[in-house]
Structure 1
Amino acid sequence: MPRRRRFVLSIGAVLAAGMLVSPPADAAAGPTTLPASQYTLSANYHQFDAVNTALVSTLGTAAVHTVMDNANHDRTGLPSSFAPAGLSTGFQFDSTDNSDCANYPQGITTSRDAVGTANSGNYDGHQLVLVSWYTKASCSGAQERSRITLVDWDATYPNKYRKVLLVQPTGTAAAPDFQDIPIHAGGVSWYGDYLYVADTGHGMRVFDMRKILKTNTGGTADQIGHQTGSTYYAHNYAYVLPQIGTITANTTSGTGLSWSSISLDRVSKSIVMAEYTCSSGCTDYPNRAPRAVRFPFASGATTFAATTTASQALQLPWYKLNGVASHNGRWWFNSSGDKKLYYWTSATGPATHTWVGSGESISYWEDSANADLLWSLQEGAGSRNVFAVTQATYGA
């Protein structure tokens, strides 16, 4: 999970800023409680309304079912050698995406997050697995854009997927435009019509799945945004999803949150986030105990209130966490550094399970007829398995 933000601070600066300098929670005892009131969110769902209205008028939108009707990549099955405990199902991307050293899958969410178990978890007629990616300029280059992949997960439809570029609106209502979003996209959560994408040092960016825009193909791979007349290119992507707003994280703890991964908890109607940190010796990541924080949605809504105070905050004893999930008072934390999946409840304490290498985000899959699942994925080029395991294998 390579990062591009540097968190190098002197000891004096750490003390002056009031950052976390206490030792981490005891791994044997599990997480410890932090003051939840220290963590808040500020939400703006209308940041780009004027420009987005103009973009919709100019380009037109494509419903999710239309995007999937035009899916142009074939997913394949998992290799027989991949066999984590409790494996239920899964897939790989096509051979090009599986081995591409300039694009890396990170976050995962599903239409079960978006709509629950009703109608078999279908959103706009499709049961979907959604994966977020970041793109580098080259195999060794810097991050320059991000995208999502919509993967059909329904026997009624072909084993297809489609890529959609994430963009930020720019320009004015009279001259609307858009540009790339060069973020890590380390976590993603789909709730109702809204897609929340983690933005490491800031919080989350918000997108509306009803506002996928149609763009022109046939330009060069470098072309992005308005060209001439009504022609808009997007690196040859036929569809782009424009940002509608921003969820900004604030804290009085003295240490800003590093939004490494997020996940939806449908039971408590909240998003949980966790930090990727090191115990010591890292230059691209914070060297301190990581935290996990829960932020509730507004009552009866799939949006956050203008200001939201966290309902739970934890200091964690585990490091290099690329994935987090929570459901009905239970927590899971994926450590890519340890190749472990840590399970914890306040009543039972922690449990440790062997996990996959290069593991990334986690999404809880509710199922009213079958066993609940945990979906996850691997980012390593050549072995990008997207898979689901039975939740009971990794906790009660």
Structure 2
Amino acid sequence: MSIHARLLRATTALMLCVSAAMVAGRPALAAAAPTSLPAGQFTLTADYDQFSALNTALAARLGTATVSDVMENANHSRWAITDSLNLPGYSTGFRFDDEDRNSCTSFPQGITTSRDAVGSPNGGRYDGHQLILVSWYTMRGCGGSTSRSRITLVDWDATHPKRYRKILLVEPTGTASVPNFTDIPIHAGGVSWYGDHLYVADTVRGMRVFDMTRILKTSTAGTADQIGRQNDTTYYAHNYAYVLPQVGTITAATTSGTALVWSTISLDRADPSIVMAEYTCTSGCTRYPNRAPRAVRFPFDPNLTTFAAGTTATEALRLPWRRLNGVAAHDHRWWFNSSGDKKLYYWTPARAPSAYNWVTGGESISYWDNGTRPDLLWSLQEPMGHRNVFAVQEAAYDG
């Protein structure tokens, strides 16, 4: 038998096995696996005090609100999912109200939870609330350029109303004597909440850092276009009642010759670290790199919820999949969501990767440690009219 014939027979057999596995409800084996890269090529520099003086001055003028205060004034309702997601291991979920569900200017991207922030003890409650947090970016009109970003805090607890509240993300400006703030026009493609700190992916920079104990109250008397200081005590924020000011920046660097693209991030509480992944294309993209993407793990300072002043990555991977909008890691296991393939890929160094059918327009992933019950993977969808936030049992996606 010729080499060509043997290769053809082997390829046909593999395809039949994959088809049979999919018919039987089992995952298909992915064709290629991640490969290791030198982790020492990737570093972070952390500055948590970048805006300390400005934030102190802003708090003195505007006053602060706790997360509990914000949720007591939640003014949007979440609703049950009406789409059929048809996902193995589906556990629960919700959709946003019609305004957010159908908006052509604001798009949900990242997801994290109060379980990320404080773990599973006490039901994963932060300031008395079990919460799902979603990051969004807003454009200047339908199809326009990115103009600002925000987060949404959603109550996820039977003892609280099914409500949520939007908080604008802002960057402090001005001086300590005349403090001000402005919009943050980033994609906010990924978000991780750890302790009091919220880490938001900034595509070209690394991460912006916010402090959930420093939410500011603003006046809602202005117009939808007004942002920032009007006088000593009046600050507008596009009619948002609350803003969350940036406290610092986590700046990424590399000696690899190709800067990281911070498309999505997730928290790994089992190995306290943030993992990030890149959105790239195979070819033909003009807004994104046309190359294989990477995923990198950056550890937190031991026993802290902050990074050291300088941090070196402890794990780096080159990935065989493109158009990645979501990444998660836990106990040496990895999950990658490809919106291009509509697949959720599972991989661990101990075995070959698996591919599961996933939702259309899937975005970021957050691992939910559920204590004595099965752990969950939370994710969400971006497409207009189908902005569902949902959880599946991770055991249904672990190969």
- Bin the TM-score by the shorter chain: over 0.9
Question: In the alignment, is residue 69 of structure 1 matched against residue 58 of structure 2?
Answer: no
1:7-46 to structure 2, matched below 5 A, reads 28-46=31-49
Contact 1:27 1:317 in 2 (8 A): no
Aligned to 2:179: 176
1:245 to 245, 248, 257: 248
Question: In the alignment, is residue 194 of structure 1 matched against residue 200 of structure 2?
Answer: no
Question: In the alignment, is residue 313 of structure 1 matched against residue 327 of structure 2?
Answer: no
Question: In the alignment, is residue 278 of structure 1 matched against residue 278 of structure 2?
Answer: no
Change in Cα spacing, 1:80 to 1:290, as seen in structure 2 (3 Å) is closer
1:133 to 125, 129, 136: 136
Post-superposition Cα deviations, 1:67-91, rounded to whole Å, max 9, x if no partner, equal 0000000000011523322110000
Aligned to 1:78: 81
1:395 to 381, 390, 398: 398
Aligned to 1:326: 329
Question: In the alignment, is residue 214 of structure 1 matched against residue 217 of structure 2?
Answer: yes
The amino acid that maps onto 1:148 is I
Question: In the alignment, is residue 50 of structure 1 matched against residue 26 of structure 2?
Answer: no
TM-score normalised per structure 2: 0.92
Post-superposition Cα deviations, 1:116-169, rounded to whole Å, max 9, x if no partner, equal 001000000000000000000101110000000000000000000000000000
Post-superposition Cα deviations, 1:354-388, rounded to whole Å, max 9, x if no partner, equal 00010000000001121100000000010001000
Aligned to 1:99: 102
Give the drift of 1:306: 0.3
1:260 to 259, 263, 267: 263
Post-superposition Cα deviations, 1:26-69, rounded to whole Å, max 9, x if no partner, equal 96341000000000000000000000000011111000000000
Give the distance between the partners of 2:234 and 2:168, measured in 1 at CA: 16
Give the distance between the partners of 1:115 and 1:208, measured in 2 at CA: 14
Change in Cα spacing, 1:55 to 1:161, as seen in structure 2 (3 Å) is same
Contact 1:277 1:321 in 2 (8 A): yes
Could you tell me which runs of 5 or more consecutive residues in structure 1 were left unpaired when the two chains were aligned.
1-25
The amino acid that maps onto 2:272 is K
Q: Indicate the SS of the match to 1:55.
A: helix
Q: Indicate the SS of the match to 1:317.
A: coil
Contact 2:75 2:164 in 1 (8 A): yes
Give the drift of 1:279: 1.1
Larger Rg, first or second structure (1 or 2): 2
Could you tell me which runs of 5 or more consecutive residues in structure 2 were left unpaired when the two chains were aligned.
1-28
Aligned to 2:373: 370
Aligned to 1:116: 119
TM-score normalised per structure 1: 0.93
1:228 to 231, 252, 258: 231
Contact 1:73 1:161 in 2 (8 A): yes
Give the distance between the partners of 1:125 and 1:205, measured in 2 at CA: 26
Aligned to 1:12: none
Give the distance between the partners of 1:194 and 1:57, measured in 2 at CA: 21
Give the drift of 1:253: 0.1
Aligned to 1:361: 364
- Large movers: runs of 4+ above 3 Å: none
Give the distance between the partners of 1:361 and 1:297, measured in 2 at CA: 21
Q: CA RMSD in A?
A: 1.0
The amino acid that maps onto 1:33 is S
> How many corresponding residue pairs?
371
Contact 2:83 2:386 in 1 (8 A): no
Give the drift of 1:229: 3.2
The amino acid that maps onto 2:176 is A
Aligned to 1:298: 301
Give the distance between the partners of 2:216 and 2:304, measured in 1 at CA: 25
Q: Indicate the SS of the match to 1:97.
A: helix
The amino acid that maps onto 1:308 is T
The amino acid that maps onto 2:148 is R
1:149 to 149, 152, 177: 152
Contact 2:30 2:354 in 1 (8 A): no
Aligned to 1:9: none
Post-superposition Cα deviations, 1:100-128, rounded to whole Å, max 9, x if no partner, equal 01000000000000000010000000000
Post-superposition Cα deviations, 1:203-226, rounded to whole Å, max 9, x if no partner, equal 000000000000000101110000
Give the distance between the partners of 1:367 and 1:354, measured in 2 at CA: 24
2:63 to 50, 60, 63: 60
The amino acid that maps onto 1:257 is L
Contact 1:27 1:318 in 2 (8 A): no
Give the distance between the partners of 1:90 and 1:348, measured in 2 at CA: 31
The amino acid that maps onto 1:238 is A
Give the distance between the partners of 2:75 and 2:86, measured in 1 at CA: 28
The amino acid that maps onto 2:64 is T
The amino acid that maps onto 2:322 is Y
2:384 to 372, 378, 381: 381
